[in-house]
Amino acid sequence: MQKAINESNLRNSVIAVYTVDETGGNMNVHCKSIILFIPEIPNLEDYLHLELNEFFQVHQLIGAEMARQRELEAKNA
């Protein structure tokens, strides 16, 4: 998970972090981004579309890595 999040943080403007709830045995992923939102940006709609799309890219990247890790754990069990 750490590797997937680090790789995602290098490639995207969206920053991802994870927290572990040791008592409940859960892991949570949180994402944030700072988006410049001013009327002077040319093609503002396209800009916002690109910026917000990165949240989905991060979600897909981390989800794929989590699935890969589950498969590895199942093989090693």
Structure tokens at 2: 């750490």
Which of 34, 36, 28, 33 lies closest to 15, judged by CA? 33
With cut-offs at 50, 70 and 90, classify the pLDDT of residue 3: confident
State phi, psi for 14 to the nearest 5 degrees.
-80, 130
- DSSP-derived secondary structure letter, 65: H
What's the confidence (pLDDT) of residue 53?
Answer: 92
- For the segment 14-68, what is each residue's pLDDT rounded down to a tens digit? 999 999 988 888 888 899 999 888 889 999 889 989 988 999 988 888 888 878 8
Amino acid 10: pLDDT: 87
Element (H, E) at 75: helix 44-76
DSSP conformation class of 19: E
pLDDT of residue 64: 86
Q: pLDDT at position 66, please?
A: 79
